[in-house]
Amino acid sequence: MVDRPRSRIPVAYARPTGEEHPPVARALTEPVARSLEYWAATRGDHPALFEGAAMLTYHAWNEYADLLADALAGRGLGPDDVIAVRCSNRIEWAVIALACSKIDARLLTLDPDLTPRALRERLIASEAGAVIVGDIAPVRLAPALEGLPFRLRATMDGAFPGFFNFWDLFPPVAQPRFGPTQPSLVAWTAGAPGRALPVGVPHRRAAPASISRPPAPESGVSLITVPPHRIWGPVQFWAALVAGRAVCLMRDFDAAKALATISKRRVTHWSALPESFEQMRELGADAVRKADTSSLRELEIGGAPASADLKGWLASLFAPILSEAYGSTEAGRISTMPLARLHEKPGSCGRPIRGVSVEIRDEHGQRLPAGAIGEIWARTPRSLVCDLPASPTRKTLRDVDGYVATGDNGRIDEDGFIYITGKATGLPEPDMRHFG
């Protein structure tokens, strides 16, 4: 681990007020950077982004994103380019994410645990035009980066030969532009058997991928603890930004620190992985009850299967505000289950949310009746699948009716509740007649 300079990040201990936001003056379907610009214009001096003691207002966040977007555009990076980032949840990542949105570039957040070989394979497969590294000395990644034709190499943590210092990338170079349909994120899915595939998330659908209903403008704070290389982390981030909530980032999850952060920042929305809640359970129910979590309005568990024991323990503490989310990288959010109703349908991850259709299919792609076990296929307006350069993803995972294979096996009962039984072993070859 290397030192992380903070000289260019303003530090404050401010807390968002309880003031309600003014009406949102743009459609949810616009690029997510538009949301930041709107809040910068209407609530510019309000705290918007936290990481530890560091804080950015909406205005400062937007200014940093503008300057970085200009710098990226000045190096020839734009709508057809992938910008690869290797770091944890930190303010620099949030600035990069919105700068990418401003120039229609695609953000690829890499898993820090990838081996050098796997990292190199993903950089080559995504045709990344830039790489920005944090939390590790670039020299340790030399085998993965050697010889690749990046137009930009930068590090968030000091100066290294052959790398720009991230905070030196802010000269005004060119006016950023927006586009409606370019992918904004690149993620990898293991939905296809035996290999990972790249999945693109269009700008206009990044935020809707994480929510089941259009958000009303609201005050509040979202705590983001899901790592940015997992698609659920960025889409939570987009959804909070669109809704006008401040964002609080946590680099390395610690249950006690998370509870302290909820109290200090008056967190209202938190969606986390089962492993995070397992850490909380290790603290004990008494420790959780003693913490001030009264600000929480929504608490959600998802991103991976959660045990019945864990869900029951959480329900005993947070039942009125607690729900379980089910989705996939390919399809976005599919269903939500309020855990206050856990006793009614034990083991279920809920019914499909509005606008989503779910089918259970056999290995040949044929629809199965209620109660039968097969692969879960979902059709949703929040589908994350789109075409990327040289990508086989669309032709592998989606059929002519718009259904996406999730890679999960399960069943649907007669009341429409979904139950996950395990991972699928294979995918049928879809009908390609209507694909361009």
Task: Write the pLDDT tens digit of every residue in 342-358.
Answer: 788 888 999 998 888 99
Question: What average pLDDT is seen over the chain?
Answer: 78
Euclidean distance between CA atoms 113 and 269, whole angstroms: 28
Cβ contact 158:149 at 8 Å: no
Phi-psi region of 154 (alpha: psi -120 to 50; beta: other; left: phi over 0): beta
Between 91-103 and 58-74, two packed helices, what is the crossing angle to 10 degrees?
60
User: Where along the chain do its domains lie?
Assistant: 32-37+48-177, 204-423
Nearest to 237 by CA among 370, 229, 228, 141: 228
Strand 106-109 with 183-189, pairing: parallel
Q: Please tell me the distance from the alpha carbon of residue 8 to that of residue 3, in angstroms, as a whole number.
A: 14
Mean pLDDT for the stretch of residues 150-173: 82
Determine what percent of the chain is predicted with pLDDT higher than 90.
46
* CA angle centred on 152, ends 3 and 388, rounded to 5°: 115
- Out of 66-75, 223-232, 278-287, 307-316, the most confident range is 278-287
Residue 135: which region, alpha, beta or left (left: phi > 0; alpha: psi -120 to 50)?
Answer: left
Question: Which pLDDT belongs to residue 247?
Answer: 95
Of 51-55, 169-173, 319-323, 378-382, least confident by mean pLDDT is 169-173
- The CA R_g of the chain, rounded to the nearest whole Å, is 21
Other CB atoms within 10 A of residue 336 CB: 18
DSSP classification of residue 330: T
Judged against a pLDDT cut of 60, whether residue 170 lies above it is answered with yes
Measured in whole angstroms, how far is the alpha carbon of residue 170 from the centre of its chain?
25
Whether residue 195 has pLDDT greater than 50: no
Whole-number Å distance between alpha carbons of 5 and 155: 11
* Whether the domain at 32-37+48-177 and the domain at 204-423 fall into the same CATH topology: yes
Name the amino acid, one letter, at 315.
A
The listed CATH number (3.60.15.10, 3.40.50.12780, 3.30.450.20, 3.40.50.1480) that belongs to domain 204-423: 3.40.50.12780
Q: Residues 87-145: pLDDT tens digits?
A: 999 999 999 999 999 998 999 999 988 898 999 999 999 999 999 999 888 888 988 99
- Between 211 and 353, residue with greater pLDDT: 353
Q: What is the pLDDT of residues 224-259, one digit of tens each?
A: 999 988 877 887 888 888 888 999 999 999 999 999
Q: For 356, phi and psi rounded to 5 degrees?
A: -110, 135
Q: What percent of the chain has pLDDT over 70?
A: 74
φ and ψ at 32, to 5 degrees?
Answer: -65, -25
Give the CATH number of domain 32-37+48-177: 3.40.50.980
- Is the pLDDT at 4 greater than 80? The verdict is no
Q: How confident is the model at residue 383 (pLDDT cuts 50, 70, 90)?
A: low
| pLDDT (0 to 100) of residue 138 | 87
Q: pLDDT: is 263 or 4 the higher one?
A: 263
Yes or no: say if 47 and 55 are a contact pair by the CB < 8 Å rule: yes
